[in-house]
Amino acid sequence: MAEIEAHESKLYGEFAPLYDRIFGKLFYNRIERVIENLDIPAGAKILEIGAGTGTSFPAYPNHCEVTGVDLAPDMLSRARQKIVENGWHHFKVMEMDALNLKFADNSFDYVMAFHVVTVVPDPIRMIAEAKRVCKPSGRIVILNHFTTDMPVIGTVTRAIDPLTRWLGWRTDLKLKPFIASTGLTVESVYKLSKTSLYTVVLGRKSANGFHPVREL
């Protein structure tokens, strides 16, 4: 059987409404806290890559302008429905590959990637694109689970990787080597709680547009 791309997983296709009801609800509080912590200023231009059904949308302040991109039409149609139903004029969504963004360099103040680095086929290229379209001094915000070297959890997450890949995401991505290979300048890395499996990485594109590598 031909291998399918992550965005072609049934979870992001015919089961998109189910995704919205289950994962959307589970993910929302986490995303809301990350967005709140950013204190986004009025007029900020934001790109959210792999925006899916627009899980995050209610969390953005309405004084910013948000563009969501995703490759799964069924996920996007849920997002569009929410935009229309809520009369949100500060959102638009577009079908677009996160690995080949159709935006000019230096277009956005923030580039958000919530639960998506472990879904796209090439997360390093995705971050390279995020950096390209981010304005100098703009921020790149990643929220994701990463695998760990802790004996039990690390072994379990690696063991279930084939199953989760079939569902539409991988569980074997390690934070430090991943960030090092993206060359992202990292301002902070934190967890929303001690026991959370999810990590927030705040990156910043340097003022001169270059991207020096910094150790985590």
Site for ligand SAM, rule CB under 6 A: 6-7, 12, 23-24, 27, 50-52, 55, 69-72, 75, 97-99, 114-116, 119-120, 169
Nearer to ligand SAM, 116 or 130 (CB): 116
Listed residue (156, 131, 158) closest to 142, CA to CA: 131
Q: Which of 195, 194, 204, 191 is nearest to 33 (CA)?
A: 191
Q: How far is the CB of 103 from ligand SAM (least distance, A)?
A: 13
Residue 76, amino acid: L
Q: Are the beta carbons of 72 and 20 closer than 8 angstroms?
A: no
Query: Least distance in Å: CB of 202 to ligand SAM?
Result: 17
By beta-carbon proximity to ligand SAM, the closer residue of 65 and 209 is 65
Angle, to 10 degrees, between the axis of helix 175-182 and the axis of helix 123-133?
Answer: 50
Residue number with the smallest Cβ distance to ligand SAM: 52
Choice between 44 and 119, CB closer to ligand SAM: 119
Cβ of residue 34: shortest distance to ligand SAM, in angstroms? Answer: 10
Q: Least distance to ligand SAM from the beta carbon of 210, Å?
A: 26
Closer residue to ligand SAM (CB): 28 or 209 = 28
Give buried/exposed letters for 39-75 (b at 16+ CB in 10 A, else e). Answer: ebeeebebbbbbbbbbbbbebbeeebbbbbbbbbebb
